[in-house]
């Protein structure tokens, strides 16, 4: 039997395995079985905590519900950081990931702040298949009621396409999200945000996550949305982003780094026989 933690950040939920002292490895089929909400434990993302080496307190590996490894996950990073800070009595931890080093700190009142690193704005780094003005480019959707949409693209360790909409509640997330995710324009597939600017310090956002679908929250998506909004002159650099599961506070610093602050929760711990899923 293998121990796991069930954690979530604003309803964006995770099955977390602490593999710092084990040789636990998961293949894509096992990840899909764990993430299955009817036959497995159920989650948006499976997270592995591994030894961090000389430069980090731990390393984190993220797997989307479809079994594919993801570069970054903001909400999961906060959850792992809270677990490690509580375990060790620390106010700050450093986590290594495919997206780079993530510095996390206790922000008080149960909140955790993560420095998600520098937002990447160049089309090649997102990546996109051809040159584009990532501030505002036409997104072609043949056969759609809106055959061309104005989009922004940002990488927060993983790729995001941000669409600013008049009403986030009515946005066709389930219809357009999967189509945009798999466009040839985005060779690594892409997360899709539907964002409504409420005022210069508040955004309402809904999200289609790559390899998962609609989720209650996406930390890197909230970061990407604020960066895109600032680049278009729509908001200040510090913004509260209201997601289906709650609010994240995002700040895009002048040096390019993006800070994300929000809550974490660990509803339960358990054991699973991975080979029987």
Strands 246-252 and 238-243: antiparallel
Is there a contact between 244 and 103 (Cβ–Cβ < 8 Å)?
no
Distance from C-alpha of 239 to C-alpha of 241, rounded to nearest angstrom: 6
Residue 85: CA count within 13 A, CB half-sphere: 24
Q: Among the options 79, 104, 161, 218, which is catalytic?
A: 218
Q: Among the options 43, 73, 104, 223, which is catalytic?
A: 73
The C-alpha torsion from 193 through 196 and 198 to 199, rounded to 10°, is 70
Q: What is the CATH number of domain 137-255?
A: 3.10.310.10
Structural domain spans, the chain: 2-117+263-276, 137-255
CATH domain 2-117+263-276 topology: Diaminopimelate Epimerase; Chain A, domain 1 (3.10.310)
**In the 8-state DSSP scheme, what is residue 111?**
E
- Do 2-117+263-276 and 137-255 show the same overall fold? yes
Concerning whether 104 is annotated as a catalytic residue, the answer is no
Helices vs strands, H then E, count in the chain: 4, 18
Distance from C-alpha of 2 to C-alpha of 33, rounded to nearest angstrom: 14
Tell me the pLDDT of the chain (277 aa) as tens digits: 999 999 999 999 999 999 999 989 999 999 999 999 999 999 999 999 999 999 999 999 999 999 999 999 999 999 999 999 999 999 999 999 999 999 999 999 999 999 999 999 999 999 999 999 999 999 988 766 666 789 999 999 999 999 999 999 999 999 999 999 999 999 999 999 999 999 999 999 999 999 999 999 999 999 999 999 999 999 999 999 999 999 999 999 999 999 999 999 999 999 999 988 8
Strands 45-50 and 12-18: parallel
Concerning whether 218 is annotated as a catalytic residue, the answer is yes
Return the structure tokens found at 66: 């479809």
């Amino acid at each position: 039997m293998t121990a796991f933690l069930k954690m979530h950040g604003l309803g964006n939920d995770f099955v977390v395995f602490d593999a710092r002292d084990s040789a636990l490895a998961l293949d894509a089929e096992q990840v899909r079985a764990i993430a299955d909400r009817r036959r497995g434990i159920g989650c948006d993302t499976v997270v592995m905590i591994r030894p961090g080496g000389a430069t980090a307190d731990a390393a984190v590996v993220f797997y989307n519900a479809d079994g594919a490894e993801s570069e970054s996950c903001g909400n999961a990073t906060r959850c792992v950081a809270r677990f490690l800070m509580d375990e060790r009595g620390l106010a700050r931890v450093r986590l290594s990931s495919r997206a780079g080093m993530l510095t996390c700190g206790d922000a008080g009142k149960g909140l955790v702040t993560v420095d998600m690193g520098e937002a990447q704005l160049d089309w090649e780094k997102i990546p996109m298949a051809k040159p584009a003005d990532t501030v505002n480019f036409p997104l072609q959707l043949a056969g759609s009621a809106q055959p061309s949409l104005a989009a922004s693209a940002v990488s927060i360790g993983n790729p995001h396409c941000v669409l600013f909409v008049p009403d986030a509640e009515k946005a066709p997330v389930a219809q357009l999200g999967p189509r945009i995710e798999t466009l040839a324009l985005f060779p690594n597939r892409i997360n899709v945000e539907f964002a409504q600017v409420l005022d210069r310090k508040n955004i309402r956002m809904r999200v289609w996550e790559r390899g998962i679908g609609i989720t209650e929250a996406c930390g890197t998506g909230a970061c990407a949305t604020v960066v895109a909004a600032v680049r278009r002159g729509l908001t200040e650099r510090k913004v509260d982003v209201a997601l289906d599961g709650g609010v994240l506070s995002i700040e895009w610093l002048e040096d390019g780094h993006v800070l994300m602050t929000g809550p974490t929760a660990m509803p339960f711990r358990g054991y699973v026989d991975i080979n029987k899923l």
